[in-house]
Every structure is written in C-alpha cells, then in structure tokens.
Amino acid sequence: MSTADELLRKFNNVKTIPHVAIQLTRLISDPDSSMRDFESIIKMDPTLVLRLLKVVNSTYYGLRKKVDSISRAVVIIGTNNLRNMIATEALKDIFKAGSEEACFSRNRLWLHSAAVAVCGQMIAERIFSQNAEDVFLCGILHDIGMIVEDQTANTDFMAAVNAYTPGGEPITAFETAYVGTDHCMVGHLVARDWKLPPEVQEGIKNHHGLFEEITPSSMTGIIQMAEYLTAKMDFKALPDMQLRLSPPLVAHMRENIDEYKVLVKDLPTAMSSAKELYEMSEESA
C-alpha cells in the first residue's frame, strides 16, 4: 500500500466525511440511480434536507412558489449542483476544525479553495463557454489532500510546510520528502474514492504540474490558471506560496489578457454571490 493510500485509509477510518455525503456523491456518478434513491438517502440527514430546501428557495433561484419536496428540489437544483453543494457542506466542518498556525491554516485553505472554485467557474464559462459545475467541484476539492495530510500525518506535514521556501521547490517536493507523498496524489485518491468524474480526478492530481503541452480549456489548465490568479489576489493556500504556470497557459493568458483583467475585476462580486449560495461567510473564511 502506498503512503497516499495509507493516509486515505486512516482519513476514512476517522469518518471525517459524513457517510450520507459519500453515498450521495457515489450515487450521482451511477447512471442507474433514480430520484427515489436520492430522496431515500437525503432524508436520512435532516440538516442536509434543510440545507437543500434553503438553497433551492433562496434568491439565487428566484422561484415564485416555495419548494418543500426533496425530489422537486433535486430536480430544480440538478444533480451536479446537488453534488457540489453536498461536497461543499461536507468539507466545511473539516476545513474549520484543526490546524490554525502561522504556517498553515485550514480556514485560509477554505477561502483559497472557494476562490479557486469560483474563479475556475468564471474562466470555464466566460473564456471557454463551458458548463462549469465540474470545474467548481474540482476547485473546492483541489487541496483536500492537505486536509488529509494535516489530519493523518500532522507532524510530518507541518515539517514540510515549515521547510517550504517561496521561490524554490514547489510545496509538493517538500511533502514528498517529509510525508512520503503529496496533497495532489492524496486528493486524487479522495476524488477517485468518491467516484467523481475522471476530469475532476485528473485536475486535482495535476494542478501543481508544469507541462510543456497542456490545453488551456482542460480541467487541469483551468484550475492552474484559477489558482494562479487568486494567489495574485492573496487567496493563497499557504501565506507565502508562489505558483508557476505551465508555459502554454502563460501564452494563452497573454493572448487573452483583456478578458482576464475583466474577470479578475469581477471576481470579488462573484465571491459575494457564492457566499450567499454556499454560506462562505467571514466566520468560515
């Protein structure tokens, strides 16, 4: 068993992620699942029921008639958005709890992940005219491996974070040296365990990779650019973290610099909208 597999096993044994959330994310990936399947699982978690109904009845959807049926709410919100809401809700508590040190803060990591998710969604929709539900999910989850490391190998992970020097080797090199794996690989295994789309799995696995050939519109390309842009706005996973872009992404952004300038200008407003929908309040940031 690899180090990454072992950390995931320990993480799952702690049952940090609610069982209902894992069941639902796997169910969404099953083409044979029915609305009855969703309803039977969702109603097992009263908090999730309230959250789902609150979201679908929010101003974001602007419905004239109040929805009080689980199945109707799922139809309106859509299974991909339901999956993203479930993943976001399941992650909030574990991002809030745990390490709060100068070198690493789970709260800081949550705000970083949310910013990457929103920015990635904007890039997918505005620049490439793509459906962006999977991009948002990949953004929220792209650094989940750091949470797993922090929880299951805290001493080694903190040693890696403290050894990291901005401008030198990437954080993944220090994780490999001290932990025996890195958060990209661990996060990839989490996404695979949840049976998330292959593109999401690959985006998480490769978001720190530097590639001579990479398609800007790919999941990996979008997440890399989103992380780079949000870091420039000080939404960083680590306080002094410096990120590099794969050369084809640098060329793409230079060619479309005006569009990206507008996008960055609009990001704070988009973040505010996401806070209403996903309750990314300052307390959880």
Query: In this structure, what DSSP letter does residue 131 have?
Result: -
238: left (phi over 0), alpha (psi -120 to 50) or beta: beta
What pLDDT, on the 0 to 100 scale, is given for residue 71? 87
Q: Which of 9-23, 87-101, 145-159 has the lowest mean pLDDT?
A: 87-101
Helix (H, G, I), strand (E, B) or coil at 26: helix
**Predicted confidence band of residue 223 (pLDDT cuts 50, 70, 90):** very high
What pLDDT, on the 0 to 100 scale, is given for residue 280? 40
Q: What CATH architecture applies to the domain 3-16+99-284?
A: Orthogonal Bundle (1.10)
What pLDDT, on the 0 to 100 scale, is given for residue 15? 64
Per the listing, tokens 């805290």 go with 154
What pLDDT, on the 0 to 100 scale, is given for residue 218? 97
What pLDDT, on the 0 to 100 scale, is given for residue 204? 97
What pLDDT, on the 0 to 100 scale, is given for residue 173? 96
In the chain, where the domains are located: 3-16+99-284
What pLDDT, on the 0 to 100 scale, is given for residue 152? 93
Tell me phi and psi for residue 43, to 5 degrees: -70, -10
What pLDDT, on the 0 to 100 scale, is given for residue 283? 41
> In Å, how far from its chain's centre is CA 264?
19
What pLDDT, on the 0 to 100 scale, is given for residue 276? 53
Report how far residue 231's alpha carbon sits from residue 207's, in angstroms, rounded to the nearest whole number: 14
**Predicted confidence band of residue 194 (pLDDT cuts 50, 70, 90):** confident
